[in-house]
C-alpha cells in the first residue's frame, strides 16, 4: 500500500461562543518539517499537537493553520479609549500652538497611532482545549485519507511505467542477434580493406570474440528485469513508507538502462533505451511524492 506525501485535511468544531478551524496541508519532503500557526490562547497545546501530527504523518513539509472565530457579540479586542483621548488632546494642543486646523475625520487619524486597540489575552478553557484536540485529530484523519487516495493513483501510475519498461526490454532481444552479425560484418569489411599482411587468424578470432563479449547485454537485461520485479514487489508491501526504497531501486534501474545504451551500438536499441529513460524519469519524479 502506497501513501502519497501530498494531502489536505480540514475540521471545524463549534462551541457556544467560538468556532475553531484546523487546516493541515502536506507536500513532499525528505524529512518531517512542520510550520504551525496557532493562536496565543492555544499555544500551550501546540507541542502536543505537533507530536501527534509528527507521529501520524511521519514525512512531508506540513503546514498547520488554526483559527478561532468569536461570535455572539463577544470579542477580546477593544478600543483603548484612554489612548484615543490622549492623542486627541495632543493634536488639539498642537493645532492651537501651530495655528493649523484640526482634522475633520478624527477616527481615521487617531486609529493610525499605536496602542489604540487593546486585545485581552484569553486563556483556553477545558472545552476549547478538547475541541482543538478533536479538530486536529479529525483534520489529520482527513489528510491521511487524502494520502491513501493519492497513493492508489501513484501505484497505478508506477505499474504502467514498470510494464512499459518491461515491454521495451523484451523488444531488445530481437535486435541483439542482428546487432552482433552487423558488428562482425563491419569488422570483416574493415579487415578486407587492409593491404595483405601476415596475421594470426586465431588471435584475431579471439580479439573479435572479446570485443563482442564486451558488447553483450544479457547481464544488464537480467539485472534490469530483477529491479523491475523488486520495484513492483515493493509497491505491494502492506506497510507504507516505501518512498526511499523505491528511490534507490529506480537509481539502480537507471544504471542498467544507461549501460544498455552505452553497449547498444545499434539505432533501434538506442531508440528503445531512450524510451526506457523517458519512462524512468517519470517514475523518479513521482517517487518523490511517496511516503
47, 64 Cβ separation under 8 angstroms? no
Instruction: Give the rounded distance of the alpha carbon of 29 from its chain centre.
Output: 5
Pairing between strand 60-70 and 18-27? antiparallel
Q: What is the DSSP string of 111-167?
A: TTSTT-EEE--PPP-HHHHHHHHHHHHHHHHHHHHHHHHHHHHHHHHHHHHHHHHHH
Q: What are the DSSP calls for 207-228, one per residue?
A: HHHHHHHHT--HHHHHHHHHHH
pLDDT of residue 173: 82
Residue 211, pLDDT > 70, answer no
76 vs 102, residue with greater confidence: 102
Partners of residue 64 on adjacent β-strands: 24, 36
Q: Do the beta carbons of residue 41 and residue 121 sit within 8 Å?
A: yes
Domains of the chain and CATH, by start? 7-74+126-147 (3.30.230), 77-119 (no CATH), 151-287 (no CATH)
Would you place residue 235 in the very low, low, confident or very high pLDDT band (cuts 50, 70, 90)? very high
Q: pLDDT, tens digit, for every residue of 109-120?
A: 888 888 787 665
Dist. CA 182–CA 161, nearest whole Å: 31
Q: Of all residues in the chain, what percent carry a pLDDT higher than 70?
A: 83
Output the nine-digit C-alpha cell for 53: 501530527
What is residue 241's DSSP assignment?
-
Q: What pLDDT is stored for residue 247 in this prediction?
A: 94
Sequence length of the chain is: 291
Rounded Cα distance, 35 and 58, in Å: 14
Phi, psi angle pair for 104, to nearest 5°: -80, -40
Residue 136 has pLDDT above 90, yes or no: yes
Answer positive or negative: Cα dihedral of 39, 42, 47, 50: negative
Amino acid at each position: 500500500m502506497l501513501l502519497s506525501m501530498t494531502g489536505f485535511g480540514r475540521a471545524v468544531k463549534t462551541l457556544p461562543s467560538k468556532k475553531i478551524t484546523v487546516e493541515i496541508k502536506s507536500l513532499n519532503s525528505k524529512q518531517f518539517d512542520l510550520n504551525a500557526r496557532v493562536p496565543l490562547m492555544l499555544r500551550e497545546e501546540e507541542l502536543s499537537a505537533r507530536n501527534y501530527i509528527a507521529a501520524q504523518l511521519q514525512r512531508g513539509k506540513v503546514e498547520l493553520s488554526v483559527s478561532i472565530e468569536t461570535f455572539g457579540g463577544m470579542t477580546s479586542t477593544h478600543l483603548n479609549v484612554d489612548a484615543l483621548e490622549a492623542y486627541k488632546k495632543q493634536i488639539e494642543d498642537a493645532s492651537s500652538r501651530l495655528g493649523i486646523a484640526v482634522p475633520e475625520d478624527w477616527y481615521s487619524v487617531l486609529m493610525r497611532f499605536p496602542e489604540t486597540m487593546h486585545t485581552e489575552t484569553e486563556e483556553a478553557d477545558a472545552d476549547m482545549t478538547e475541541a482543538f484536540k478533536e479538530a486536529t485529530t479529525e483534520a489529520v484523519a482527513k489528510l491521511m485519507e487524502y494520502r491513501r487516495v493519492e497513493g492508489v493513483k501513484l501505484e497505478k501510475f508506477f505499474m504502467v511505467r514498470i510494464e512499459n519498461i518491461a515491454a521495451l526490454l523484451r523488444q531488445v532481444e530481437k535486435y541483439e542477434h542482428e546487432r552482433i552479425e552487423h558488428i562482425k560484418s563491419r569488422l570483416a569489411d574493415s579487415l578486407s580493406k587492409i593491404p595483405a599482411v601476415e596475421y594470426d587468424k586465431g588471435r584475431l578470432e579471439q580479439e573479435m570474440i572479446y570485443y563482442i563479449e564486451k558488447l553483450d547485454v544479457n547481464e544488464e537485461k537480467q539485472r534490469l528485469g530483477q529491479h523491475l520485479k523488486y520495484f513492483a514487489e515493493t509497491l505491494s508491501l502492506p506497510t507504507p513508507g516505501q518512498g526511499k526504497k523505491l528511490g534507490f531501486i529506480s537509481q539502480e534501474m537507471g544504471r542498467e538502462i544507461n549501460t544498455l545504451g552505452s553497449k547498444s551500438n545499434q539505432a533501434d536499441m538506442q531508440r528503445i533505451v531512450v524510451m526506457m529513460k523517458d519512462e524512468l524519469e517519470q517514475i523518479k519524479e513521482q517517487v518523490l511524492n511517496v511516503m
